[in-house]
Amino acid sequence: MNIKYTYLIILIFVSVLSSVAQGTHFSQFNTTPIHVNPANSGNFNGCYRVNASYRNQWNSVS
C-alpha cells in the first residue's frame, strides 16, 4: 500500500513539472497588453501595477 502512494506522488510530481514546460504568458510575447496598445497601462483594478517584459530566445544561433 505504501508503494502505491510513492508511485502516486512521483506521478503527480512529474506531471506538474511537465505541465509548466511552456509559459502561457510568455509564449505569445507580442500580444502583451502594453505592446498591443500603450493605453492599456492604466486599464486595471488596483492601486499599483508593475509590468516587465523580457525575451531571450535563439541566442546560440546568432
Task: Kindly report, residue by residue over 30-59, the tens digit of the pLDDT.
Answer: 677 777 787 877 777 777 777 676 766 666
Domain range for 45? 28-52
CB atoms within 10 A of CB 45: 5
In a domain, residue 33? The reply is yes
Tell me, yes or no, whether 41 lies in a domain: yes
Domain count, the chain: 1
d(CA 45, CA 42): 9
Mean pLDDT for 25-30 is 60
> Of 58, 62, 5, 56, nearest to 26 (Cα)?
56
In a domain, 6, yes or no: no
pTM exceeds 0.75 = no
In a domain, 23, yes or no: no
pLDDT of 45: 79
Assess if residue 8 is contained within a domain: no
Look at residue 15 in the predicted model and tell me its pLDDT.
74
Closest CA to 26 of 18, 14, 35, 17: 35
Judged against a pLDDT cut of 70, whether residue 12 lies above it is answered with yes
With respect to residue 61, please indicate whether it lies within any of the assigned structural domains. Answer: no
